[in-house]
Amino acid sequence: MADSTLSADIAHHAALDARMAKAAKSIRLLSLVSWPASEQQTFLADYAQGRAKLPAHEYPKHDFSDARREFEAIIAAADPAHPLGIYLVESARSWSLAAELLEQLGTPRVSELSVALFGKPEHILPGGATTREAANHFIAIADELDRELLAPSEQVAISATSLSLQLQAALDDYFDGRVITVELDPDLIAKAAAGATRIRLRAGAAFSDYDRHQLLQHEAFVHSLTALNGQRQAVLPSMALSSPRTTATQEGLATFAEQITGSIDIERMKRVSLRIEAVAMALDGADFMAVFRYFLDAGQNETESFTSAQRVFRGVPTSGGAAFTKDTVYLRGLIGVHTFFRWALKHGKLRLCRLLFAGKMTLADVQRFEPLFDSGDLSPPRWLPEWVERANGLAGMLAFSLFANRIRLEQIVDAESVADL
Of the candidates 290, 279, 293, 275, which has an alpha carbon nearest to the alpha carbon of residue 322? 279
Give, as one character, the DSSP assignment of residue 379.
P
Reported as type and span, the H/E element at residue 193 is: strand 192-194
Helix, strand, or coil (residue 89) = helix
Residue type, 238: S
C-alpha distances in Å from residue 50, one per residue of 41, 47, 53, 167 = 14, 5, 9, 39
Taking a C-beta distance cutoff of 8 angstroms, is the pair 336, 249 a contact? yes
- Confidence (pLDDT) at 409: 60
Q: Strand pairing partners for 159?
A: 206
Reported as type and span, the H/E element at residue 202 is: strand 198-202
Average pLDDT, the chain: 93
Residue 148 has pLDDT above 60, yes or no: no
In this structure, is the dihedral angle defined by the CA atoms of residues 193, 199, 201 and 206, taken in order, positive or negative?
positive
**Cα 297 to Cα 55: distance, rounded to the nearest angstrom:** 20
Taking a C-beta distance cutoff of 8 angstroms, is the pair 111, 323 a contact? yes
Start-end of H helices in 147-224:
160-175, 209-214
pLDDT in tens, 187-196: 898 899 999 9
Residue 14 has pLDDT above 60, yes or no: yes
Q: How confident is the model at residue 416 (pLDDT cuts 50, 70, 90)?
A: low
How far out from the chain centre does Cα 1 lie? Answer: 30
**Cα 184 to Cα 200: distance, rounded to the nearest angstrom:** 6
In the chain, pLDDT over 90 holds for what percent of residues?
Answer: 84
Phi-psi sector, 59: left (phi>0), alpha (psi -120 to 50), beta: beta
pLDDT in tens, 201-244: 999 999 999 899 999 999 999 999 999 999 999 999 999 999 99
Taking a C-beta distance cutoff of 8 angstroms, is the pair 242, 28 a contact? no
CB atoms within 10 A of CB 76: 9
| Radius of gyration, alpha carbons of the chain | 22
Taking a C-beta distance cutoff of 8 angstroms, is the pair 24, 93 a contact? no
Domain boundaries of the chain, sorted by first residue: 118-412
- The residue-averaged pLDDT of 289-311 equals 97
Residue 252 has pLDDT above 60, yes or no: yes
Of the candidates 57, 66, 69, which has an alpha carbon nearest to the alpha carbon of residue 32? 57
How far out from the chain centre does Cα 69 lie? Answer: 28
**Cα 343 to Cα 402: distance, rounded to the nearest angstrom:** 9
In the chain, pLDDT over 70 holds for what percent of residues?
Answer: 93
